[in-house]
Amino acid sequence: MDDVASAKVRLPVARFRDASEASKRVAHEIARLIRQRASENRRCVLGLATGSTPIRVYRELVRMHREENLSFFNVVTFNLDEYFPIKPESPQSYHRFMNENLFNHVDIIRSNVHIPSGTVPLENAPGYCRDYEDLILKFGGIDLQLLGIGRTGHIGFNEPGSTRDTLTRMVRLDSLTRKDAAKDFGELDRVPLLAITMGVDTIMQSKRIRLLAFGEHKARIVQQALQNRMSSALPASYLRQHPDMQYLVDGAAASCLPPSIFGTSLQ
């Protein structure tokens, strides 16, 4: 990790040598939380993300499960979002992503896994979204929320225009988000127009937030999310109000940030 970022003060932006190092740092924090809760006979509620960014985190958690007896027996998960409509077995579905990258490889209790449905009848979606919120609250809220950031500045699928008070709901995907997803779906026309996502407020209610951003293509949006005026035009900018939020970035994603940001307050 960067010299400045390795100083004792807990910093909101930490720059790592590479994505692997940053991912391991988050995975180890998650593992500590799971074990601490288990030792107190309590559940650990994780908010999980999909996409290319968190894959290494899941890989490290699976390794710790296999090699270091990390059990997910006390873990409850809530995923951020899912395309709509999409079948859970579809190659691009986030249900399938989570199974393949994490859940199939650890001892999590399946009924403790929650991912927004891509198949709920459209007319039932508002009630379904309210129930998803209620369920998070019933489990005592999210202890740690893992996040990526899209090039639109979205967190989850909270695209530009998503206000600070938004909750879980059906949204329309931004055209840039759909363009970025086109490689997964084969062509742009196959990318769903809609999604169900936790809201900005749902995310902000998490006790800890850890946002990962890797690669040069994220550099500009990371800089804007940290330095532009806070507004619904850039939903990730709201994260600066969170009392326990940290950005973990690699050198490429940090390349538009001024050196002074490492170790300064974000307010």
> Cβ 73 to ligand PGA, closest distance in Å?
28
Is residue 53 within the footprint of ligand PGA (CB under 6 A)? Answer: yes
How many beta carbons lie within 10 A of that of residue 90, not counting itself?
15
Q: Using the rule CB under 6 A, give the single segment among 59-67, 144-152, 188-196, 242-250 that binds ligand PGA.
A: 144-152
Please tell me the distance from the alpha carbon of residue 52 to that of residue 253, in angstroms, as a whole number. Answer: 14
The interaxial angle of helices 94-101 and 55-67, nearest 10 deg, is 40
Contact indicator for 149, 221 with CB cutoff of 8 Å: yes
Please tell me the distance from the alpha carbon of residue 77 to that of residue 96, in angstroms, as a whole number. Answer: 15
**Per residue in 163-198, is it b (16+ CB within 10 Å) or e — as a string?**
ebebbbbbbebbeebbebbeeebeeeeebbebbbbb
Q: Using the rule CB under 6 A, give the single segment among 6-14, 50-58, 236-244, 245-253 that binds ligand PGA.
A: 50-58
Instruction: Choose, from 29, 159, 187, 216, the residue flagged as catalytic.
Output: 159
How many beta carbons lie within 10 A of that of residue 208, not counting itself?
18
Is residue 149 within the footprint of ligand PGA (CB under 6 A)? Answer: yes
Is residue 52 within the footprint of ligand PGA (CB under 6 A)? Answer: yes
Closer by beta carbon to ligand PGA, 150 or else 199: 150
Closer by beta carbon to ligand PGA, 148 or else 192: 148
Residue with tokens 């960014």: 53
> Cβ 53 to ligand PGA, closest distance in Å?
3
Closer by beta carbon to ligand PGA, 70 or else 204: 204
Please tell me the distance from the alpha carbon of residue 128 to that of residue 122, in angstroms, as a whole number. Answer: 10
Is residue 23 within the footprint of ligand PGA (CB under 6 A)? Answer: no
Q: Tokens for 241?
A: 């109000």
Is residue 51 within the footprint of ligand PGA (CB under 6 A)? Answer: yes
Q: Is 159 a catalytic residue?
A: yes
> Cβ 76 to ligand PGA, closest distance in Å?
22
Closer by beta carbon to ligand PGA, 112 or else 242: 242
> Cβ 205 to ligand PGA, closest distance in Å?
19
Which residues does the annotation mark as catalytic? 159
Q: Tell me which residues touch ligand PGA (CB under 6 A).
A: 51-53, 148-150
